[in-house]
Amino acid sequence: MTRYVPYLLIGLLFGFTLIKSEAASWYRIQEMFHFQSFHMYGILFSAIATGMVSIQIIKLLGNRKTLGHAMDGQAIDIPEKAPGKKSYLIGGLVFGFGWGLIGLCPGPMFALAGTGSLGALIVLAGALHGTWLYGALKQHLPH
């Protein structure tokens, strides 16, 4: 059980940050899609930049014992996304369309549900059904 504690704590930090930064706010998402504030772009760009720099550091340290390796001693490897184009574009389009309407992507859904929002739980229930629908229709969809 103790091996899961780091995941719980990092997840907690993630949820805390999503609420404190108001990334889980429907209003902030509308403001973003209408280019009326830098706030959300600031979050996204600085998150990507931070991720990018830390990945480069990990790669540079790749041969060293600490930092270049995961806690269990294994070399860090960055999983590659499966090649393709259609599924990413169409899936992204459907997801984005829903995101623009509801202002919640999956991370904020869980964070907002944690605040006791019944509405967020309904969105989450819908998302589970949507995921199930994809699983059921997978073979018939262009990929």
| Closest among 92, 94, 60, 93 to 76, alpha carbons compared | 60
Q: Quick check: 130 binds other proteins (CB under 8 A)? A: yes
Residues 69-108 interacting with other proteins (rule: CB under 8 A): 70-72, 74, 76-85, 87-107
**Does 27 help bind other proteins (rule: CB under 8 A)?**
yes
Which one of residues 2, 51, 64, 65 is an interface residue with other proteins (CB under 8 A)?
A: 51
21 binds other proteins (CB under 8 A): yes
Beta bridge partners of 69: 75
Query: Is residue 55 within the footprint of other proteins (CB under 8 A)?
Result: yes
Q: Supply the minimum distance, in Å, between the C-beta of residue 64 and other proteins.
A: 13
User: Could you say whether residue 62 binds other proteins (CB under 8 A)?
Assistant: no
CB of 2: closest distance to other proteins in angstroms? 11
Are the CB atoms for 143 and 84 separated by under 8 Å? yes
Helix H segments across the chain?
Answer: 5-20, 26-33, 39-60, 86-102, 106-114, 118-137
* Distance in Å, CB of 60 to other proteins, minimum: 12
60 binds other proteins (CB under 8 A): no
Secondary structure class of 69 (helix, strand, coil): strand
Which of 2, 8, 64, 65: binder of other proteins (CB under 8 A)?
A: 8
From the list 107, 124, 128, the residue with the least C-alpha distance to 19 is 107
Cα angle vertex 103, ends 97, 106, to 5°? 85
